[in-house]
């Protein structure tokens, strides 16, 4: 009796649910599932804990940049950029650029976008108290002044080819007429309901669940064909994938490009996968110094021969294939697929176990006690490899690395750590080998941070003055520095401060009901206004 | 000793007790005998092939790293069973002692002990574990068991205390007290056996919790580190391939289910025996 | 009696406040000693300069001595201001408040099912002890108990949500549903989203209540007074209801007290798998991000529920058995 009643209740719920779960999207509506809720999608507020991709990607829907990166993402070539709020730009001398705003550009409240807005935004962005991250990125910018209503003149304190990239990429203009003085905080009201110049505005937000966007009919490039966009939030990649596979969503982001995941959505008929260069690069970072006494070299890894032998012992191609199938490459130097300099690089060195063994033997490492692990002067060739447990990709690859090095007589002890603990130890230099992963900006100039002697994130204390001067020359080379970049990469590979393991593609599964879908690596949904949703 | 032998004989007489004992002995025996004849649980013969479904070469299939699931389940039993048995034993002992004391003496003793339990329940375990991580690079297995045991008794102590409070005023307790039985005798002879019910349930249910918790700890960098397999860690590791390669988590999962079932049946048989002999 | 009870309650309230204060101080200190800090996550995957770090530490008030930070936290908390979350940039109170409905809905359903269906099934097993029904229920409930909740959640989401498309795979509401839709439509939508997470949590938790209830009932049924009542010819149903139930409820009540805080923190994996916007995930994220203010807020709420659970349990003991009152 009870069973029957339970069954009938179940049937009723399912019937209701079936009706509710048929979340068919009407034409012109797109549902995208992201990993995080964007709580502050306003330029110059995305600092500290708010400097998330969720905020940046939503900001790109609400606020237009002065210009966008061209198809080849040449950050050092200002002619390859595409006009947005700026109609044209002109180089006056090696330290000065003038930008002319498009007279048709309007804020969403109808007011025109003027030169003052640009100057206001940069006043905020260059204030280290308001925007420490932007202020650092814009540190070579000396002055931003309006010249009439439509023209803005940017002056730099230093000549370098990426000046225009720095002007347009980091800070989209804000409407100065709606905001207080540049030194004041942006009011909560504006952050929750921003008025921008972009293709969309926020129509409704349910914190922790979703944000609904409505099209801006007065958008500079014409009214968006997709009239309504929903950014849903699901922190777990499995939940995001389920929402797409159950056809409750049109696109998802930030699903690890693991073989297993890609296989799942390539089997779904209503979905196609779009692969894009990713800014991620994963590598095994060797500590150059002793873990405890940072003034002494690392007892094992201080020797570049050992570092090169470890690289030779690893089958990086196999690791990449086993983990990402064809959606990743072995990088040459610390270069993700997003950086243009990778196109001129040679292929990465392959595995050569015999050569690795020979190299280690020539350095005095032998298995004198027959335990399968090499040793030298009584010290075993044993190293700890630490990595954060949050990364599925690194969890898997660490096991592959451990097993492959075992064959070369190197014992790897795996230390998986909670994210914050891992990071603290890494920053302190308390590791033998650190399994790092970095998100790179589209510019190669960021390489100085990790690989020059006094780089801000050079936790392994790798230092080669030759690399420093090559990087410095490449950054300030007015012709873009192609050959100098390659020389720097060659030197880094030669020194082997790390084994560069994988530079993946990001795989974006997208519903087939969407047409004209163009995704951009630096901000995937930035051209959403030009898609069509059937 | 003869008391234990009697208990054992009584359990063995029951069908469920026999089944449970045989099942647990089989798992333990397999963990000891089988590893030498099975493939190396850490070997990755074909990483590009990855997870392959069960076949004659690999009866339980292989995982994402092409490792043999059967040999991992078998050798994972060692860590999982040892940790579960010992950690549960530790936490139940402490829990019973605290609960018995608080419930029997009542008043300020009870208040103090229970507020300590409140605090123990209120402070997230993760904090304590993270602190250990700050001071300890590598935690040996016995220490891990101790950590799990000493942070897992709070609930059990409240359960035992509740039972003691209920039984304190039963005629058999006041009777014993009136006859001049000492406190210790009342607590251990009369009260403890009668609270064995919830305690055994807590212990037997705790087994699977501890097995999974151990895996959670190893994910935090505490406890057993890869490639040493444990059942819980196998399930956690298999999360990304749950749908694509269900066998990688199904078999360790089944091993946990069988163990939990056996332990519970054993617990049932034990408390039946205690019921019919006690009071 | 009434005065005795209110006196007891007052004493317990004082104890509760003291315990809460001690726990909060401990938490504040522990979380600062624990490795990692709120800026750690930022630095983990992008370059961050020392100047930026210093500016952010000042912004989040992390550059002052711990004692000063604690003093201002307490001052704020007394006024009902629990600080601003670092991760979300919003007041902690508001963040917690907007997650409460989802949390209480899911947790409430699970508690309700456990302490009705679970108790009933456990009692059913006890009165049919040793039968096929008893053994079957034991096996099924234990299998459910041994399954990790994320595993069951993923399987259900995939099977029911993706394969059969019977219920939504994740979330708490359909964002396409018109916000002005009728109550019936919105309730149906909510129930459809609630079904799978609630089912998952019920399956993995039911064995707990069932086992305790079964064991307690079995023990009570062998007490002399039950035999006496039966011998006197009291009908079996009355024996069960008058005598057995009352005494068999003790362990389950304790369990209820223990599970009350699970409302807040117990459903992390299920919330994650089903993208359910509850507090558990918020609290777990706060630990991961070392979002100190948010962490204190969620931990204080959980601690409050732990203490409340203890009081409710003791109160219930006293209600069930008048003799306990004198002792408690």
Q: Quote the pLDDT of residue A465.
A: 96
**A33 pLDDT above the threshold of 50:** yes
User: Region B45-54: what's the mean pLDDT?
Assistant: 87
Contacts of B137 in chain A (CB under 8 A): 415
Q: Which residue has the higher pLDDT, A94 or B134?
A: A94
Q: Do A234 and C46 touch (CB under 8 A)?
A: no
Interface touch C169/A456, C-beta < 8 Å: no
What phi-psi label fits residue B85: left (phi over 0), alpha (psi between -120 and 50 degrees) or beta? alpha
Q: What residues contact residue B215 under an 8 Å CB cut-off, 6+ apart?
A: B230, B231, B232, B233, B234, B235, B236
Rounded to the nearest 10°, the torsion over CA A62, A68, A70, A74 is -130
* Mean predicted lDDT score pLDDT of chain C: 87
Runs of H (alpha helix) within chain C: 2-33, 40-43, 50-59, 66-78, 92-113, 119-127, 132-146, 149-156, 183-221, 224-231, 236-238, 245-259, 262-265, 268-273, 279-289, 292-320, 322-327
**pLDDT tens digits, A306-359:** 999 999 999 999 999 999 988 999 999 999 999 989 988 999 999 999 999 999
Instruction: Choose the closest CB to A128 out of C43, C51, C193.
Output: C51
Question: Are the Cβ atoms of A319 and B44 closer than 8 angstroms?
Answer: no
What's the average model confidence in pLDDT over A292-305?
94
Residue B70 pLDDT more than 90? yes
d(CA C236, CA C223): 15
CB neighbours (10 Å) of residue B255? 23
Residue holding tokens 């090499």? A374
Token pair recorded at residue B60: 């339980």
Radius of gyration of chain C (CA): 24
Residue in B13, B101, B166 to test binding to C, most C beta-carbons within 10 Å:
B166
What integer is the mean pLDDT of A163-168? 95
pTM of the model: 0.92
- A149 inside 8 A of chain C by CB: no
pLDDT surpasses 90 at B89? yes
Q: pLDDT band at residue C77, thresholds of 50, 70 and 90?
A: confident
Per residue in C37-65, pLDDT tens? 888 777 766 667 778 888 888 888 888 88
Write the pLDDT tens digit of every residue in C167-176.
999 999 999 9
CB contact under 8 A, B221 and A403: no
A-B contacts at Cβ under 8 angstroms: 72
Quick check: C47 and A209 CB within 8 A? no
Query: Would you place residue B91 in the very low, low, confident or very high pLDDT band (cuts 50, 70, 90)?
Result: very high
Nearest to C306 among B122, B161, B249 (CB): B122
Q: How far does C296 lie from chain B, in Å, by closest CA?
A: 11
Q: What is the mean pLDDT of residues A19-31?
A: 77
Least confident of B136-140, B207-211, C80-84, C251-255: B136-140
pLDDT at A1: 46
Q: What proportion of chain A, given as a percentage, has pLDDT over 70?
A: 96
Q: What is the mean pLDDT of residues A40-55?
A: 92
Over the range A506-534, which residues count as b (16 or more CB within 10 Å of their CB) and which as e? bbbbbbeebeebebbbbbbbbbbbebebe
CB interface of A with C, residues 441-460, below 8 Å: 446, 449-450, 455-457
Cα separation of B178 and B190, whole Å? 13
By Cβ distance, the residue of A20, A25, A427 closest to C192 is A20
Q: Is B205:B266 a contact under the CB 8 Å cutoff?
A: no
Q: C194 pLDDT band (50/70/90 cuts)?
A: very high
Does B192 have pLDDT greater than 90? no
What average pLDDT does range A429-455 have in this prediction? 90
Q: Do C42 and A51 touch (CB under 8 A)?
A: yes
Q: What is the CA radius of gyration of chain A?
A: 26
User: CA neighbours within 13 Å on the CB side: how many for C67?
Assistant: 0
Tell whether the model's pLDDT for residue B279 goes beyond 50. Answer: no
* Backbone φ/ψ region at A28: left (φ over 0), alpha (ψ -120 to 50), beta: left
Nearest to A209 among C42, C162, C171 (CB): C171
Q: What span, in angstroms and rounded, lies between the C-alpha atoms of A213 and C135?
A: 55
Q: Kindly identify which residue of chain B lies nearest to residue C301, measuring between CA atoms.
A: B122
* Nearest CA among A158, A85, A88, A97 for reference residue A121: A85
The Cα of C290 is separated from the nearest Cα of chain A by a number of Å equal to 8
User: For residues C198 and C227, what is the distance between their CA atoms, to the nearest angstrom?
Assistant: 40
Å from B251 to nearest chain A CA? 19
Proportion of chain C above pLDDT 70, given as a percent = 95
Rounded-to-integer distance, Cα A476 and Cα A443, Å:
13
d(CA A278, CA A258): 14
- Is B40's pLDDT higher than 50? yes
Subunits close to A (at least 3 CB pairs below 8 A) = B, C
Burial class (CB in 10 A: 0-12, 13-18, 19+), C93: middle
Provide mean pLDDT across the span B142-171: 87
To which residue do tokens 């408690």 refer? Answer: C328
How much is the mean pLDDT over chain A?
Answer: 91
Average pLDDT over residues C130-138: 91
C66 has pLDDT over 90: no
* Residue B131 near chain A (CB below 8 Å): no
Question: According to the model, what pLDDT value does residue B266 have?
Answer: 87
Predicted pLDDT of residue C48: 77
The number of CA neighbours under 13 Å toward the Cβ of A3 is: 0
For residue A252, is pLDDT > 60? yes
Choice among A4-18, B13-27, B257-271, C235-249 with the minimum mean pLDDT: A4-18
Would the CB atoms of B239 and C219 count as touching at under 8 Å?
A: no
> Does the distance separating the beta carbons of A238 and C154 come in below 8 Å?
yes
CA B200 to each of CA A390, B7, B66: distance values in angstroms, whole numbers, following the listed order:
36, 15, 40
pLDDT reported for residue B187: 83
| A322 → closest Cβ in B48, B226, B237 | B48
Separation CA A160–CA A473 (nearest Å): 10
pLDDT beyond 60 at B29: yes
CA-based nearest residue to B264, from C270, C149, C125, C120: C125
Average pLDDT over every residue of A196-217 = 96
Q: Residues B89-93: what's their mean pLDDT?
A: 93
Q: How far is C183 from chain B (nearest CA, A)?
A: 36
CA closest to C193 among chain A residues: A17
- In the three-class reduction of DSSP (H, G, I as helix; E, B as strand; rest coil), residue A23 is classed as coil
């Amino acid at each position: 009796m009870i069973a029957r009643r339970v069954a009938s209740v179940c049937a009723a719920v399912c019937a209701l649910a079936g009706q509710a779960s048929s979340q068919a999207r009407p034409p012109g509506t797109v549902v995208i599932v992201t990993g995080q809720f964007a709580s502050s999608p306003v330029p110059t507020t995305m600092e500290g804990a708010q400097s998330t991709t969720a905020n940046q990607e939503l900001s790109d829907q609400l606020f237009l940049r002065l210009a966008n990166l061209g198809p080849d993402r040449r950050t050092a070539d200002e002619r390859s950029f595409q006009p947005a709020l700026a109609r044209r730009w002109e180089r006056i001398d090696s330290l000065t650029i003038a930008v002319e705003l498009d007279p048709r550009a309007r804020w969403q409240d109808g007011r025109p976008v003027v030169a003052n807005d640009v100057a206001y935004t940069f006043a905020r962005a260059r204030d280290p108290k308001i925007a420490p991250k932007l202020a650092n990125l814009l540190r070579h910018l000396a002055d931003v002044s309006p010249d009439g209503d439509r023209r803005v003149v940017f002056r730099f304190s230093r000549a370098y080819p990426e000046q225009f990239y720095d002007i347009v990429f980091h800070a989209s203009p804000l409407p100065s007429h709606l905001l207080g003085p540049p030194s004041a905080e942006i009011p909560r009201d504006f952050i929750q309901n921003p008025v921008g110049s972009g293709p969309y505005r926020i129509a409704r937000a349910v914190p922790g669940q979703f944000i609904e966007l409505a099209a801006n009919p007065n958008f500079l490039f014409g009214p968006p064909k997709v009239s309504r966009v929903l950014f849903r939030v699901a922190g777990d990649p499995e939940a995001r994938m389920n929402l797409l596979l159950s056809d409750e969503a049109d696109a998802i982001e930030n699903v690890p490009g693991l073989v297993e995941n890609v296989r799942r959505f390539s089997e779904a008929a209503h979905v196609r996968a779009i692969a894009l260069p990713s800014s991620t690069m994963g590598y095994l970072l060797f500590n150059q110094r002793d873990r405890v006494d940072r003034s002494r070299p690392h007892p094992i890894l201080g020797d570049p021969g050992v570092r090169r032998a470890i690289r030779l012992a690893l089958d990086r191609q196999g690791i990449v294939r086993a983990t990402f199938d064809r959606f990743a490459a072995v990088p040459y130097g610390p270069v993700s697929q997003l950086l243009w300099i990778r196109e001129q690089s040679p292929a990465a060195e392959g595995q050569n176990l015999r050569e690795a063994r020979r190299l280690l033997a020539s350095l005095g490492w032998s298995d004198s006690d027959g335990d399968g692990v090499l040793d030298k002067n009584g010290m075993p060739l044993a190293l700890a490899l630490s990595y954060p447990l949050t990364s599925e990709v690194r969890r898997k690859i660490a096991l592959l690395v451990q097993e492959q090095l075992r064959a070369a007589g190197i014992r790897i002890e795996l230390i998986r750590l909670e994210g914050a603990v891992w990071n603290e130890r890494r920053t302190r230099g308390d590791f033998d080998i650190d399994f790092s992963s970095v998100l790179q900006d589209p510019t190669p100039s960021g390489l100085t941070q990790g690989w020059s002697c006094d780089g801000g994130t050079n936790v392994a204390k790798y230092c080669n003055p030759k690399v420093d001067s090559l990087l410095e020359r490449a950054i300030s080379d007015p012709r873009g520095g192609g050959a100098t970049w390659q020389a720097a990469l060659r030197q880094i590979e030669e020194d082997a401060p790390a084994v560069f393991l994988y530079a993946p593609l990001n795989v974006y599964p997208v519903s087939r009901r969407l047409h004209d879908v163009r995704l951009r690596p630096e901000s995937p949904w930035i051209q959403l206004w030009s898609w069509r949703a059937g | 000793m003869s008391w234990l032998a009697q208990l054992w004989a009584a359990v063995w007489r029951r069908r469920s007790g026999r089944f449970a004992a045989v099942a647990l002995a089989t798992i333990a025996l397999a963990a000891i005998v089988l590893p030498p004849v099975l493939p190396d649980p850490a070997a990755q013969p074909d990483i590009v092939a990855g997870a392959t479904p069960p076949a004659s070469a690999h009866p339980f299939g292989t995982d994402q790293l092409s490792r043999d699931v059967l040999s991992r389940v078998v050798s994972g039993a060692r860590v999982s069973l040892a940790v579960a048995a010992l950690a549960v034993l530790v936490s139940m002992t402490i829990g019973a002692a605290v609960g018995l004391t608080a419930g029997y003496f009542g008043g300020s003793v009870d208040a103090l002990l229970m507020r300590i339990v409140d605090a123990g329940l209120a402070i997230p375990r993760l904090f304590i574990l993270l602190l250990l991580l700050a001071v300890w690079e590598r935690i040996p297995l016995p220490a891990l068991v101790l950590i799990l045991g000493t942070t897992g008794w709070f609930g059990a102590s409240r359960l035992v205390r509740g039972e003691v409070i209920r039984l304190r005023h039963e005629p058999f307790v006041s009777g014993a007290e009136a006859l001049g039985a000492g406190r210790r005798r009342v607590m251990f002879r009369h009260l403890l056996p009668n609270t064995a019910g919830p305690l055994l349930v807590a212990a037997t249910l705790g087994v699977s919790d501890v097995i999974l918790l151990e895996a959670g700890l190893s994910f935090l960098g505490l406890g057993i580190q890869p490639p040493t397999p444990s059942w819980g860690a196998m399930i956690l590791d298999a999360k990304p391939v749950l749908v694509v390669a269900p066998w990688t988590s199904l078999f360790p999962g089944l091993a946990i289910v069988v163990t939990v079932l056996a332990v519970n049946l054993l617990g049932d048989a034990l408390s039946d025996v205690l019921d019919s002999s006690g009071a | 009696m009434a005065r005795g009870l209110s006196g007891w309650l007052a004493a317990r309230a004082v104890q509760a406040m003291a315990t809460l204060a001690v726990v909060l101080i401990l938490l504040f200190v522990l979380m600062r000693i624990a490795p990692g800090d709120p800026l750690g996550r930022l630095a983990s995957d992008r370059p961050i300069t020392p100047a930026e770090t210093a500016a952010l530490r000042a912004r989040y008030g992390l550059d002052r001595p711990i004692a000063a930070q604690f003093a201002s936290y307490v001052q704020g908390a007394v006024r009902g201001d629990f600080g601003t979350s670092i991760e979300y940039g919003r007041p902690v109170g508001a963040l917690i408040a907007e997650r409460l409905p989802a949390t209480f809905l899911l947790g409430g359903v699970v508690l309700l099912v456990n302490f009705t269906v679970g108790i009933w099934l456990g009692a059913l097993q006890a009165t049919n002890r040793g039968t096929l029904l008893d053994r079957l229920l034991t096996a099924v409930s234990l299998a459910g108990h041994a399954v990790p909740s994320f595993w069951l959640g993923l399987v259900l989401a995939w099977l029911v949500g993706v394969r059969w498309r019977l219920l939504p795979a994740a979330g708490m509401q359909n964002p396409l549903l018109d916000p002005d839709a009728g109550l019936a439509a919105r309730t149906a939508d909510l129930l459809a989203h609630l079904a799978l997470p609630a089912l998952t949590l019920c399956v993995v938790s039911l064995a707990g209540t069932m086992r305790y209830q079964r064991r307690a009932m079995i023990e009570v049924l062998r007490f002399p007074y039950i035999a006496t009542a039966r011998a006197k010819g009291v009908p079996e149903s009355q024996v069960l209801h008058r005598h057995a139930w009352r005494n068999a409820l003790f362990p389950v009540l304790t369990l209820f007290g223990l599970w009350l805080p699970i409302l807040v923190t117990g459903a992390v994996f299920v919330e994650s798998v089903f993208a359910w916007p509850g507090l558990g995930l918020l609290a777990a994220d706060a630990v991961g991000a070392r979002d100190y203010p948010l962490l204190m807020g969620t931990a204080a709420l959980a601690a409050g529920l732990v203490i409340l659970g203890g009081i409710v349990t003791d109160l219930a003991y006293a209600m069930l058995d008048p003799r306990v009152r004198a002792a408690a």
